[in-house]
C-alpha cells in the first residue's frame, strides 16, 4: 500500500506540478511566457531522489516538509494561471507537455506512463481517465498534505522492509513501534481518502510499475526499491482474493477501507512471526509463550474477520494453493509444495476438522474454532504447569524438580490464576495434567533428555511434565483422527496414518515404509512390556504415549551411543551415512561402558556390572536372536544400538511393573501375576513343542523362566516332564536377558 501510493505521489507530482499560466483548449489566447525559478524546478527534478532518500531512511523531516510544500505551492500556481474553455477541466497531455518543457529539460513523459497515472487517479479520486477536474486537483493538494503528515510519522522507522526490520541485533521495542507507526499512518491515509476512492485493478498497478520504470530511467533517476516492489506484486492478487474479497484482481470502492486496515496488519503479522521464530527463544515457554499468544490472537482476529466477510465463510483450496505458489516463488517457504499441501489437508480434515471439508483442502470458521480450542487447551495447560513450578523455583522453574506428592498436591489446587482462557478446554487440560502426573512409569530426565524407568519415588521435573503434555495432545489428536470409537488405535489404522503423512515424513527424512515394516514387531513388544499394556497390540492413549516415549528415547540414546562406540572402535562412516561397527569390538565396548550405554536403565546397568567383562560381552551377543535374528553375529548398525536400548527399557519395565518388593528378582507370586501378559507367546512356543493343552502353558512358562531355555534335547524334555509349575525359583535381571533371546527370538 505504501509503495503503491508513493508511486501515485510521484506521478501526480509530474502531472500537476507547475502548469503555471498555461491555457487549455483556448485557441484564441496566445501562450504566455512563463518564468519558473530554480527552486520551483527542484520540486520535480529532485522528486525521485527525495523519494529514494525517504524509502532508504535518509530523508529528514524538514526535507519531507519542503518537498510536499513545494508541490502544493506549484499546484496552487497552476490553478491560479490555468485558463481554458472549461475552467473546471484540464487535459493531462497538455499538462505533461508543460512539465516536460519547463521541468524536465525537454525529456518526454511517456504516454504509457501518463495513461497509467490517470487510471490511478480514477481509482483514488474517481472521475475520468481523460481529464482532471478542478475539484480533483484540490483533492490532490489535500492528499499531499496528508502524505507529508504520514511520511513524517513513519520516517524515524524507515526503511520498513523485512531485511532492515529483521536484521541483526533487532531492537524489539523499535520493531514494535515501527509497525505501530505503519498501521497508524495507513489508517490516517485511509481516513483522508474515504468517500473518494473508486475501483482499481491490480493489473493496472503492475502496468503503472512498468511505466514508472520506463519514465524514471529516461529521467535519469535510480530505482533502488524497484526489486522489493516487484517481488511482492505477484503475491497481491491471491492474498487479496483470499483475505479481503473476490475478484482477486480488482480493488472495489468497498475494498479500500479494508486494505488500509488489513495490509499493514498482515505485513506486521508476517514480520512478527518471522522475527519470533528466528530468535533464540522457545515459543512454548514463559515469556515466549506470552509473546506467541499475542501473535496468535492477532492471527485469529484477522482471519476471522476475513472469513466473516465472505459469503461462503471459507477460504478455498485453490486460493490457498495460489498463495502457496507465490510464497514458494518468493523463497519465503523452503518446504516442497506437495509436502505442505499434505500437511494442510490433513490439518483441516483431521487435526482441526470441519466435517464439511470431506477430505478437501479449505479453511473455514469451523476450522478456526477447532484451532482456538486446541490452542487454548495446549497453552493453558502449559501455563498451569509453569505456575506449579514457579511456586517453588521462581524464574528457574524450567530446571526445577518437585517430589511426586508435592506435585500432586499442587495439581489439585485451583490453577485458574495461571490461565488466560479459563474455559472448558482449560478444565480438560487440568484433568490431563493430573493424569500425566499420576502416570510415572516412565520419567523424562531433564539432563539426559530421555526417559528413565524410575528407581524409588520419582521426582517430577518441569521437563518431564512438559513433554508429557505435548505427547498427550498429539496422541489425543491422532486417536480422534485415526483411532477407533473405543479409544484405541490398531496397527492397520497406524499404517493408514503413515501412508497419508508419507510426503511430509519424506521431508523429515523418515522412511514411512521402513517404519511400517517394523511396526508389527514393535507393537507386539509394546503389548508385552508397556506399563499400561493389556496384552493387545492395539494402543490406548496412555500406551501410545509410553510407546512413543520409549521409541524416541531409544533413537536419541541409541544414536548417541552408536557414534561413541564407533569412535572407540575407529570405524569409518559408510557412504550411506551410518557407522557399521565390528561385532567383537562393539560388544566389549558396550559392555565395558554399561553404566553409560545403559544409563537410562540404571538398575540394569548396576546388575550388569556384577558380571565379568567376558560374561557381559557374551550377554550382549546373546541378544542377537531377539535383536536381529536375520543377521546374528554381523557387525552392529545404528538400528542395532537403538534395539539394545529398547531391550534395556523392556527389562526394567518388567521389573518396575511386577517386582513389587523391589528386591531385583521375580519370585513365584510375581511371576504368576505377569503370566497373563505372556500367555499368547507361551501358547505359540508350546504349540511348537507339540503341546496344545492350555492347562500346560503355565508349566512351560515357569520352566522357561527357571531354566532360561526351551526344552529341546532329550534330557531337557525328560527334565520338563518332571517339572512342576509350583517348583520354587527366582529370576533376576541378567537371567531375564537370557530368556529374551529364548522366548522372544524372531
Q: Give the model confidence (pLDDT) of 120-148 as tens digits.
A: 888 888 888 888 888 888 888 888 888 88
Structure confidence at residue 38 (pLDDT): 56
Residue among 144, 155, 226 nearest 185 (CA): 155
Cell numbers for 648: 534395556
CB 296 within 8 A of CB 375: yes
Give the start-end residues of each E strand in 583-675: 665-666
Structure confidence at residue 695 (pLDDT): 80
Beta bridge partners of 666: 731
Structure confidence at residue 31 (pLDDT): 44
Cα 101 to chain centroid distance, Å, stands at 57
Distances (CA, A) of 377 to 295, 429, 473, 544: 17, 6, 8, 20
What residues contact 542, with CB distance under 8 A and at least 6 apart?
Answer: 435, 439, 532
Residue among 187, 179, 194 nearest 298 (CA): 179
Using CB atoms within 10 Å of the CB of residue 240, give its burial: 0 to 12 exposed, 13 to 18 middle, 19+ buried: buried
Distances (CA, A) of 279 to 89, 285, 383, 397: 56, 14, 21, 21
Q: Is the dihedral of CA 503, 508, 511, 512 positive or negative?
A: negative
Distance of alpha carbon 451 from alpha carbon 150, whole angstroms: 57
What is the phi/psi pair of residue 192, to 5°? Answer: -65, -40
What residues contact 432, with CB distance under 8 A and at least 6 apart?
Answer: 381, 469, 472
Q: What is the DSSP letter of 114?
A: H
Measured in residues, the chain has a length of: 746
Beta bridge partners of 444: 451
555: three-class secondary structure by DSSP: helix
pLDDT digits (tens, 9 = 90+) for 719-742: 888 899 889 988 888 888 877 766
Residue among 87, 84, 74 nearest 44 (CA): 74
Residue among 59, 70, 75, 58 nearest 15 (CA): 75
What residues contact 36, with CB distance under 8 A and at least 6 apart?
Answer: 18, 20, 102, 103
Distance of alpha carbon 146 from alpha carbon 68, whole angstroms: 10
Distance of alpha carbon 471 from alpha carbon 542, whole angstroms: 10
Distance of alpha carbon 635 from alpha carbon 640, whole angstroms: 9
What residues contact 583, with CB distance under 8 A and at least 6 apart?
Answer: 621, 633, 634, 635, 636
Residue among 96, 188, 181, 182 nearest 142 (CA): 188
Distance of alpha carbon 255 from alpha carbon 269, whole angstroms: 20
Q: Is the dihedral of CA 572, 575, 579, 581 positive or negative?
A: negative
Distance of alpha carbon 329 from alpha carbon 323, whole angstroms: 10
Distance of alpha carbon 335 from alpha carbon 346, whole angstroms: 16
CB 434 within 8 A of CB 427: no
Distance of alpha carbon 512 from alpha carbon 287, whole angstroms: 36
Structure confidence at residue 290 (pLDDT): 80
Cell numbers for 123: 481509482
Structure confidence at residue 155 (pLDDT): 92
pTM tops 0.75, yes or no: yes
What stretches of 403-540 show up as alpha helix (H) in DSSP? 404-411, 424-438, 462-482, 491-507, 512-529
Give the start-end residues of each E strand in 207-332: 250-251, 314-316
Residues of the chain with pLDDT under 70: 1-48, 77-85, 95, 98-106, 223-228, 231, 279-284, 508, 573, 575-577, 741-746
Residue among 509, 511, 529 nearest 521 (CA): 529
Using CB atoms within 10 Å of the CB of residue 198, give its burial: 0 to 12 exposed, 13 to 18 middle, 19+ buried: middle
Distance of alpha carbon 703 from alpha carbon 700, whole angstroms: 5
pLDDT digits (tens, 9 = 90+) for 399-439: 888 888 888 898 898 998 999 998 999 999 999 999 998 88
Structure confidence at residue 465 (pLDDT): 92
Residue among 144, 146, 159 nearest 185 (CA): 146
Structure confidence at residue 40 (pLDDT): 55
pLDDT digits (tens, 9 = 90+) for 538-547: 999 999 999 9
Amino acid at each position: 500500500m505504501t509503495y503503491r501510493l508513493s508511486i501515485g505521489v510521484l506521478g501526480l507530482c509530474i502531472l500537476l506540478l507547475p502548469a503555471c499560466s498555461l491555457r487549455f483548449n483556448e485557441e484564441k489566447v496566445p501562450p504566455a511566457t512563463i518564468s519558473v525559478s530554480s527552486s520551483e524546478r527542484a520540486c520535480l527534478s529532485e522528486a525521485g531522489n527525495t523519494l529514494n532518500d525517504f524509502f532508504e531512511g535518509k530523508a529528514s523531516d524538514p526535507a519531507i516538509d519542503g518537498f510536499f510544500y513545494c508541490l502544493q505551492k506549484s499546484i496552487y500556481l497552476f490553478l491560479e494561471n490555468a485558463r481554458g474553455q472549461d475552467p473546471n477541466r484540464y487535459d493531462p497531455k497538455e499538462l505533461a507537455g508543460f512539465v516536460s518543457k519547463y521541468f524536465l529539460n525537454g525529456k518526454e513523459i511517456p504516454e504509457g506512463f501518463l495513461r497509467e497515472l490517470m487510471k490511478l487517479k480514477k481509482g483514488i479520486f474517481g472521475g475520468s481517465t481523460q481529464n482532471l477536474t478542478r475539484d480533483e486537483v484540490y483533492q490532490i493538494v489535500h492528499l499531499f498534505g496528508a502524505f507529508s503528515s504520514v511520511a513524517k510519522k513513519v520516517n524515524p522507522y524507515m526503511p520498513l522492509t523485512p531485511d532492515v526490520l529483521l536484521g541483526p541485533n533487532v531492537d524489539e521495542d523499535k520493531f514494535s513501534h515501527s509497525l505501530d507507526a505503519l498501521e497508524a499512518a495507513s489508517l490516517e491515509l485511509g481516513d483522508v481518502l474515504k468517500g473518494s476512492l473508486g475501483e482499481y485493478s491490480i493489473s493496472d498497478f503492475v502496468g503503472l510499475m512498468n511505466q514508472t520504470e520506463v519514465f524514471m530511467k529516461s529521467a535519469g533517476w535510480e530505482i533502488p526499491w524497484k526489486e522489493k516492489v516487484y517481488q511482492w506484486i505477484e503475491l497481491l492478487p491471491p492474498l487479496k482474493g483470499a483475505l479481503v474479497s473476490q475478484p482477486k484482481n480488482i480493488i472495489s470502492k468497498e475494498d479500500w477501507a479494508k486494505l488500509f486496515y488489513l495490509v499493514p496488519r498482515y505485513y506486521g503479522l508476517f514480520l512478527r512471526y518471522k522475527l519470533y521464530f528466528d530468535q533464540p527463544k522457545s515459543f512454548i515457554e514463559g515469556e515466549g509463550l506470552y509473546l506467541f499468544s499475542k501473535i496468535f490472537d492477532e492471527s485469529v482476529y484477522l482471519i476471522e474477520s476475513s472469513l466473516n466477510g465472505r459469503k461462503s465463510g471459507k477460504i478455498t483450496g485453490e486460493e490457498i494453493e495460489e498463495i502457496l505458489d507465490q510464497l514458494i516463488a518468493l523463497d519465503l517457504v523452503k518446504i516442497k509444495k506437495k509436502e505442505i499441501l499434505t500437511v494442510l489437508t490433513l490439518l483441516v480434515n483431521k487435526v482441526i476438522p470441519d466435517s464439511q471439508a470431506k477430505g478437501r483442502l479449505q479453511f473455514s470458521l469451523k476450522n478456526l474454532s477447532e484451532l482456538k480450542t486446541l490452542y487454548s487447551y495446549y497453552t493453558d495447560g502449559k501455563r498451569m504447569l509453569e505456575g506449579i513450578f514457579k511456586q517453588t523455583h521462581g524464574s528457574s522453574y524450567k530446571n526445577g524438580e518437585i517430589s511426586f506428592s508435592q506435585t500432586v498436591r499442587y495439581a489439585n489446587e485451583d490453577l485458574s490464576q495461571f490461565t488466560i482462557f479459563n474455559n472448558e478446554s482449560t478444565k480438560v487440560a487440568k484433568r490431563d495434567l493430573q493424569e500425566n502426573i499420576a502416570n510415572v512409569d516412565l520419567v523424562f530426565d531433564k539432563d539426559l533428555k530421555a526417559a528413565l524407568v524410575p528407581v524409588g519415588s520419582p521426582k517430577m521435573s518441569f521437563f518431564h511434565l512438559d513433554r508429557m503434555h505435548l505427547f498427550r495432545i498429539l496422541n489425543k489428536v491422532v486417536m480422534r483422527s485415526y483411532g477407533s470409537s473405543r479409544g484405541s488405535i490398531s496397527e492397520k489404522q497406524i499404517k493408514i496414518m503413515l501412508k497419508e503423512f508419507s510426503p511430509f515424513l519424506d521431508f523429515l527424512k523418515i522412511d514411512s515404509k521402513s517404519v511400517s515394516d517394523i511396526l508389527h514387531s514393535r507393537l507386539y513388544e509394546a503389548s508385552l512390556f508397556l506399563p499400561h499394556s493389556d496384552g493387545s497390540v492395539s494402543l490406548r492413549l496412555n500406551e501410545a504415549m509410553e510407546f512413543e516415549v520409549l521409541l524416541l528415547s531409544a533413537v536419541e540414546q541409541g544414536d548417541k551411543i552408536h557414534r561413541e562406540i564407533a569412535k572407540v572402535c575407529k570405524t569409518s562412516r559408510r557412504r550411506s551415512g551410518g557407522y557399521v561397527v565390528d561385532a567383537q569390538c562393539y560388544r566389549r565396548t558396550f559392555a565395558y561402558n554399561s553404566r553409560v550405554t545403559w544409563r537410562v536403565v540404571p538398575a540394569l546397568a548396576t546388575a550388569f556390572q556384577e558380571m565379568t567383562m567376558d560374561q557381559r560381552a557374551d550377554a550382549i551377543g546373546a541378544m542377537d536372536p531377539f535383536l536381529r535374528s536375520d543377521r546374528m553375529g554381523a557387525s552392529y548398525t545404528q538400528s542395532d544400538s537403538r534395539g539394545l536400548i529398547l531391550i534395556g527399557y523392556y527389562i526394567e519395565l518388567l521389573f518396575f511393573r511386577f517386582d513389587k518388593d523391589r528386591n531385583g528378582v521375580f519370585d513365584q507370586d510375581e511371576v504368576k501375576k505377569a503370566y497373563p501378559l505372556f500367555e499368547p507367546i507361551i501358547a505359540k512356543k508350546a504349540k511348537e513343542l507339540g503341546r496344545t493343552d492350555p492347562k500346560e502353558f503355565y508349566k512351560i512358562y515357569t520352566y522357561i523362566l527357571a531354566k532360561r531355555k526351551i526344552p529341546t534335547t532329550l534330557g531337557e524334555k525328560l527334565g520338563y516332564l518332571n517339572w512342576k509349575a509350583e517348583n520354587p525359583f527366582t529370576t533376576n535381571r541378567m537371567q531375564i536377558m537370557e530368556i529374551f533371546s529364548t522366548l522372544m527370538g524372531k
